[in-house]
Chains A and B, each alone.
Chain A
């Protein structure tokens, strides 16, 4: 009889609730202990590691049980986390936080500053060394624990290189010119359709796997934005976009999305990937070299994109004491070793190669990646991070991939737009 009145009755309290917020406790006790929930990425190997880690913890702490759940590793994990923060049902820890999303989660009030926990900042700097600095937020606090990186390199298919008449053991790929010539040879020889096949789509994160590694290498590890100002409209940035423009213009890199794995399918002779790829490409006869630089650089000087995933503690967490202990347990030397063995991804800790010397001796393929892991460049930890990358990607797509604008001018326009975004906070 009163349905319409009930609209008012129903929506008013909801509205108030949404406006004021309820539940949740931003000042939860940093030492409280008890059961907690953690989320793991649903990547097969990581789940295996995570499950074992949680079991090991639970065996020793029956009063502080940890429950692990999986969230998708793909492009949608940030939405899940963002929605969970808003709803106040985020777990205590997530072992799959993209550094690019941290500023946004922090702005939402979703993260616990790890400095507030006993010995938080010291633990982070002691474990990760100088690399940790890039993960410090603008307010000088750590809202994420730098966990593991996947420093990217150029993988190349030795069989295809041989087929194209190239030296498969020492391929000329160090400078832009060498890389271009090699690519031309590969394609014109008919050995392969594409020299290299970075995803040409418009998602904000795609530039991390074409522009950014080369830019990091060329500039000795400069971030896209530093001191609230874009850095990339420089000579180095221009050279990188010119390089990729040539690749696309001469059809050495396709403009079209490949539905599958171009490297595994031998559609492309090279790929920009991290150490996770080693087991994936077990069937391919591959080699790895660092990303090219304008004039070539020894590998000891090369910086590259980190492709890191970190751990964050969420403000919805009540038992923060337990969460912090679990976080330390999961990133201990022993568990980092387990992670390295299970996934081949590089724990972000100092002296990786000496700590796990045995592993790297047994798996020399991973050794170069471990070396690079000390010189990784992260996405800038600034407000509007994702919007900045989307702006960059849109401009890059238009000018570099599709050649509709002059790449140089387009780069400068993007820099202006990004300066505005970066200066807001």
Chain B
């Protein structure tokens, strides 16, 4: 839908004045910093709340006066098998990312660069798929995966509904679409087959889009609660989001500081996602996803 929109701009008019003002944008930086602080405030609040022994709802609690304690975290550690949950989350998320990359690249490339029957229909479907609420498909999917395929308490059963992230296919398509045509026609003139072009030209170029896709895809399964929750009954199969939700809904209600326990759970769930994001954010550069929106 985006690719179809063409960019039309007026040709630049003749310069009247050739000097350019160049000031370091202090004001902009300050305003953006303020905005970022507002955006991050809930996380700060979450963190200090999780480090306190007694819940404090008053505004003065923004600047904590009481000493920090790790009690809330040790309570989680005592009732949730954190390393095991992390491994489960890792396998679930990793499986989804792997499938998305392998099959998503191929599908995205084909949608962008190859002409075959049904391409238009498929692309329309890609757009349609994003509109369908998961809750509508939930029970038929559950019956299919658990009853027909017997994949309850199985990593495959967890991964299957998320296996190929459609947004990722879309990003790959847009990425391949923006590569210069000459690249491909030159190879064809040299007599390269379609498979050869894919292997030697398209795939080596895909790296920047890959990181974007990994980060976009990561968020879904890492934070997903409802599906793995339905599919897993064995505690040692449950990903972090499910174990923590179980902890929050149940154990936390009995903790000495239920509010702090909930916040600590939230921090534990958020921390790996944020850490991963911060670690990779410098690769998460503008040009990568530029493909996704360029006309």
Give chain A's interface residues, CB within 8 Å of chain B: 4, 14, 17-18, 22-23, 39, 42-44, 69-76, 79-80, 83-84, 86-89, 259-261, 264-265, 279-280, 283
Contacts of A265 in B (CB 8 A): 55, 259
**Is B182 positioned at the interface, with any CB of A under 8 Å from its CB?**
no
List residues 249-282 of chain B with CB under 8 A from any CB of chain A: 249-251, 253-254, 256, 258-259, 262
Q: Are A43 and B250 in contact (CB under 8 A)?
A: yes
**Alpha-carbon gap, A311 to B122, bound state (A):** 49
Of B2-10, B34-42, B146-154, B187-195, the stretch lying at the interface with chain A is: B146-154
Of B13-21, B88-96, B205-213, B230-238, the stretch lying at the interface with chain A is: B230-238
What total count of A-B pairs have CB within 8 Å? 75
30 A-B pairs with C-beta separation under 8 A? A14-B144, A17-B147, A23-B147, A39-B233, A42-B246, A44-B250, A44-B251, A71-B233, A72-B245, A72-B250, A73-B249, A74-B249, A74-B250, A79-B230, A80-B229, A80-B233, A83-B230, A84-B146, A86-B142, A86-B143, A86-B147, A87-B146, A87-B152, A88-B147, A89-B146, A89-B147, A89-B152, A260-B262, A261-B258, A265-B55
Assuming A4-B118, A87-B152, A261-B253, is B139 touching A69 (CB within 8 A)?
no
Contacts of B251 in A (CB 8 A): 44
Assuming A18-B140, A88-B147, is B250 touching A73 (CB within 8 A)?
yes
Contacts of B254 in A (CB 8 A): 44, 279-280
**Alpha-carbon gap, A22 to B144, bound state (A):** 11
**Alpha-carbon gap, A75 to B253, bound state (A):** 13
Contacts of A259 in B (CB 8 A): 259, 262
**Alpha-carbon gap, A43 to B249, bound state (A):** 10
Give chain B's interface residues, CB within 8 Å of chain A: 55, 79, 118, 139-140, 142-144, 146-148, 152, 229-230, 233-235, 245-246, 249-251, 253-254, 256, 258-259, 262
Contacts of B258 in A (CB 8 A): 260-261, 264
B interface majority secondary structure: helix
CB distance from A40 to the nearest CB of B (A): 11
**Alpha-carbon gap, A229 to B249, bound state (A):** 35
**Alpha-carbon gap, A174 to B209, bound state (A):** 69
**Alpha-carbon gap, A22 to B139, bound state (A):** 16
Contacts of A79 in B (CB 8 A): 230
**Alpha-carbon gap, A39 to B79, bound state (A):** 18
**Alpha-carbon gap, A161 to B225, bound state (A):** 42
Q: Are B246 and A72 in contact (CB under 8 A)?
A: yes
**Alpha-carbon gap, A124 to B161, bound state (A):** 43
Contacts of A89 in B (CB 8 A): 146-147, 152
- Having A70-B235, A87-B147, one finds 11 other A-B pairs with CB under 8 Å, namely A14-B144, A17-B147, A18-B144, A42-B250, A69-B234, A72-B246, A74-B250, A80-B233, A83-B139, A260-B259, A279-B254
CB distance from A89 to the nearest CB of B (A): 5
Q: Are B259 and A14 in contact (CB under 8 A)?
A: no
Question: For residue A43, which residue of chain B has the nearest CB?
Answer: B250
CB distance from B274 to the nearest CB of A (A): 22
Contacts of B246 in A (CB 8 A): 42, 72, 74
Contacts of A72 in B (CB 8 A): 229, 245-246, 249-250
The 10 closest A-B pairs by CB, nearest first: A74-B249, A87-B146, A87-B147, A260-B259, A69-B233, A260-B258, A83-B142, A87-B143, A73-B250, A72-B246
**Alpha-carbon gap, A74 to B250, bound state (A):** 7
**Alpha-carbon gap, A69 to B246, bound state (A):** 14
Question: For residue A17, which residue of chain B has the nearest CB?
Answer: B148
Contacts of A44 in B (CB 8 A): 79, 250-251, 254
Question: For residue B231, which residue of chain A has the nearest CB?
Answer: A83
Contacts of A73 in B (CB 8 A): 249-250
Contacts of A22 in B (CB 8 A): 147
Contacts of B144 in A (CB 8 A): 14, 18
Contacts of A4 in B (CB 8 A): 118
**Alpha-carbon gap, A14 to B148, bound state (A):** 8
Contacts of A86 in B (CB 8 A): 139, 142-143, 147
Contacts of A83 in B (CB 8 A): 139, 142-143, 146, 230
Q: Are A80 and B230 in contact (CB under 8 A)?
A: yes
Question: For residue A11, which residue of chain B has the nearest CB?
Answer: B144
CB distance from B137 to the nearest CB of A (A): 13
Question: For residue A39, which residue of chain B has the nearest CB?
Answer: B233
Question: For residue A75, which residue of chain B has the nearest CB?
Answer: B249
**Alpha-carbon gap, A24 to B234, bound state (A):** 22
**Alpha-carbon gap, A42 to B146, bound state (A):** 22
CB distance from A83 to the nearest CB of B (A): 5
Most buried by B among A43, A71, A79, A260: A260
